Amino acid sequence: LSVWWGKKKPMLSEKNAMMTLPYMIDGEKVVTLSNACYLFMARKCGIVPASEAAAIDNEQVQMQVFDLRNDAIKACYNGGDKEAFAAAMPGYMGGAVTGYYAKLNGFLRQKGTPFFGGAEPLSGDFFAFEMIDMHSAIAKKIGVADPLDSCAELKAFFAAFKALPKMQGYFESEAYTLTFNSDEAAFY
């Protein structure tokens, strides 16, 4: 991270004053902030909602998952104290994560669709998959029950996303085995 703070961030800030992690560069465009990057990438890939209702559903899911992500940041980036992390995780997984999963599970149940915005995945689905995948890995690593196991609709969403034919190249690649966050996260 010292390279980021010392060299990359100041250089990229000349093109985008809001510069932070994550970021994307597309020609002369420098896009930063998690949700902006997800939405930008979705538009670039043609993954756009088919209706206003799908757009609203997608945005709600994306912001709900962003709240989960913010809680994950607080839980995982505690100065690298692995013992404190391990001690706090059962409460975090059984409390905050379970609460977010219940909302996402209920939303899928209400919609009756495999993905949050309908029959095809949108940007919020990618973000939800990433956070569920990370939390499942944490649960496995620390030996606690995976909150996903008690959420039938969310578990079906996760399986459907993982089975998407267009995603198989990624899931079979080395990129899928990379860490979820920086090495400063306490669970690495």
**Average of per-residue pLDDT across 112-126:** 96
Q: Give the global pTM.
A: 0.89
**Average of per-residue pLDDT across 124-147:** 93
What's residue 182's pLDDT? 61
At residue 188 the predicted structure's pLDDT band, cuts being 50, 70 and 90, is very low
What's residue 183's pLDDT? 61
CA distance 131 to 110: 21
- SS3 assignment, position 159: helix
CA distance 139 to 146: 5
At residue 117 the predicted structure's pLDDT band, cuts being 50, 70 and 90, is very high
* 116 pLDDT higher than 90: yes
**Average of per-residue pLDDT across 42-47:** 92
Q: Burial-class residue 5 by CB neighbours within 10 Å (0-12, 13-18, 19+).
A: exposed
What's residue 12's pLDDT? 93
**Average of per-residue pLDDT across 23-43:** 93
What's residue 177's pLDDT? 87
At residue 114 the predicted structure's pLDDT band, cuts being 50, 70 and 90, is very high
Q: Please answer whether residues 186 and 81 qualify as being in contact, where contact means their C-beta atoms are separated by less than 8 angstroms.
A: yes
* 2 pLDDT higher than 50: yes
What's residue 53's pLDDT? 95
What is the DSSP secondary structure assignment for residue 149, as one 8-state letter?
G
Give 18 or 79, the one with higher predicted confidence.
Answer: 18
Reported for 141-144, long-range contacts at CB under 8 A and 24+ positions apart, including other chains, are 141/187, 142/86, 142/89, 142/90, 142/187, 144/89, 144/90, 144/93, 144/94
Average pLDDT, whole number, for the chain? 91
CA distance 136 to 101: 12
* 1 pLDDT higher than 60: no
